[in-house]
A and B are shown apart, each in its own frame.
Chain A
């Protein structure tokens, strides 16, 4: 093994619309310090972004029997960034029946990520 590998990664925090510029110091893959954040969530974001970047996912699934064709859904927690497209693909064939309640689980453990997909809108049966 060579000596300790130190690096500084720079990210723009996506935790809120403020968009703080974060600097994450790491040695041998361990986060030593996060700088540039203006809140606790920002520090957590910087650490997470270096170790295992994740994003919340919002998409839609088919809904039958409602006034609209699509039901908006989101991941109950963030999913690995590099699996966003795969998770969206796994949801493409899903169809639910109205009525739907906001917060209702539409699919558990989507694509083996351990993350549930929940409805973000209540829909009554049409007519």
Chain B
């Protein structure tokens, strides 16, 4: 397979232009071609397509997209082979500087310089970026050796540098857990993982195979309250927290280390969307979208982690395929579905995507609970649908399939999504079975 920063040719106009060639962008480009777009351009700022998948060398990808468990680089390469099969033009090493509301895309790259491409439709698939130290205000010095877990992952897995010799990880999200194992395998001593919350943020399987397998301690309800070191990180102060998540300083202790990896969450990398002035969702940090992932600007779509942070790359690809298909369909002059039902996050729901749905077709509704429910959970979509889950935790995104079978006969203009303990629901409904 050859990937080049030189496009086979770069046209002045494309039916669909996709920004970002990660698991979202690649799926969107394929979807657009399959729904009839005659020309699709896929743009990425890195030299190789694949996005963050290239540094996610662990397995856990592809169970939905390929029906087998593969690693990130394999997922990227197999997807990219499909992109090439679908005769998508690919421009790497190219940075999208600006998108206008009439879909003129200004981009810059060593091979084409600064140029503008017109697009019939645009799919924004820029993914997410990591929250940094500034987002959680850890007091102390500013030595080297403090970095996000994903940056360390890039150093180790692509560039061949170790970030340090003795590391602490703050945050028990999956990236942090995976880096705990990764550093251990490369001979770095991982002193421990510290998590502010009383429960781990990452998947259970990663607690087992990234921490327990290597006897790496996980300290729940504990956080970093001080960073010490003149040039290089030398020591952290950590402290347990109370129920209000306030540190108990009288029980603080010091940990010697030269590296602190932060795995404290992702935020949509949505600057382009914000600059476009489209309607944004303060709950996700990404654009608001319709059931076909179209933003408030006609012809501009968004999908994947730029809309909301997903758990799995496979789901990102599924969602982006919907966006790409709709963008492709639009380019052939097909009508948009009638989109007239707003979705609202209700009881114990942190956010809902998409923000509107249609009773014309089947769609996937994704959301997360705010507080964990460790037991039978009732999911409610207004009065039209109920489903029971064994448990619901913020770390695991929940999806519902919603289509004409549920919405037939619904005449309102909005539906609330609730996720509540099963018993409370029954009480509220007066003993309903």
Contact = CB atoms under 8 A, between A and B. Distances in A.
B71 A19 contact: no
B176 interface: no
Nearest to B59: A56
Interface residues of A, number: 32
Contacts of A67: 47-48
Contact of B207 (A12, A15, A17, A102): A12
17 contacts: A14-B209, A16-B69, A17-B63, A17-B312, A19-B203, A56-B59, A58-B57, A69-B158, A69-B159, A70-B160, A72-B73, A74-B71, A92-B186, A120-B57, A121-B74, A122-B1, A124-B2
Interface of B: 1-3, 47-48, 54, 57-60, 63, 69-74, 76-77, 156-160, 182, 184-187, 203-205, 207-209, 213-214, 311-312
Interface string A1-43: 0000000000111111101000000000000000000000000
Interface string A97-127: 0000010000000000000000011101000
Given A58-B57, A102-B74, A120-B74, A17 B311 contact: yes
A81 interface: yes
A74 B214 CA distance: 18
A121 B77 contact: yes
Interface string A42-63: 0000000000000111111010
Given A12-B208, A121-B77, A69 B160 contact: yes
A12 B187 CA distance: 26
A105 B57 CA distance: 16
B71 A17 contact: no
A67 B48 CA distance: 9
A120 B187 contact: no
A58 B58 CA distance: 5
Report, nearest first, the 4 A-B pairs whose CB atoms are least far apart: A69-B160, A19-B204, A72-B57, A121-B73
A85 to B, nearest CB: 6
Contacts of B1: 122
Contacts of B71: 58, 72, 74, 120
A62 B57 CA distance: 14
B205 A60 contact: no
Contacts, number: 89
B157 A72 contact: yes
Given A84-B185, A88-B186, A124-B2, A17 B205 contact: yes
Given A17-B312, A120-B74, A74 B205 contact: no
B367 to A, nearest CB: 18
B77 A122 contact: yes
A68 interface: yes
Contacts of B76: 121
Contacts of A15: 205
B218 to A, nearest CB: 14
Contacts of B77: 102, 121-122
Contacts of A57: 185
Nearest to B4: A124
A49 B72 CA distance: 25
A88 B185 CA distance: 6
A74 B75 CA distance: 13
Contact of B184 (A14, A81, A85): A85
Given A58-B71, A72-B72, 18 more contacts: A12-B204, A12-B205, A12-B208, A17-B312, A19-B204, A56-B59, A58-B57, A59-B57, A59-B182, A59-B185, A62-B160, A67-B48, A72-B57, A72-B73, A74-B57, A120-B57, A121-B74, A121-B77
Nearest to A68: B158
Nearest to A75: B59
Nearest to B181: A84
Question: Which of A17, A56, A69 has the most chain B CB atoms closer than 10 A to its own CB?
Answer: A17
Contacts of B205: 12-17, 19
Nearest to A121: B73
Interface string A74-100: 100000010011001100100000000
Nearest to A53: B213
Contacts of B186: 59, 88, 92
Contacts of B3: 124
A88 B3 CA distance: 30
Nearest to A63: B160
Nearest to A17: B203
A84 B38 CA distance: 49
Contacts of B160: 60, 62, 69-70
Contacts of A13: 205
- Among A67, A92, A121, the most chain B Cβ lie within 10 Å of the Cβ of A121
Contacts of B47: 67
B208 A89 contact: no
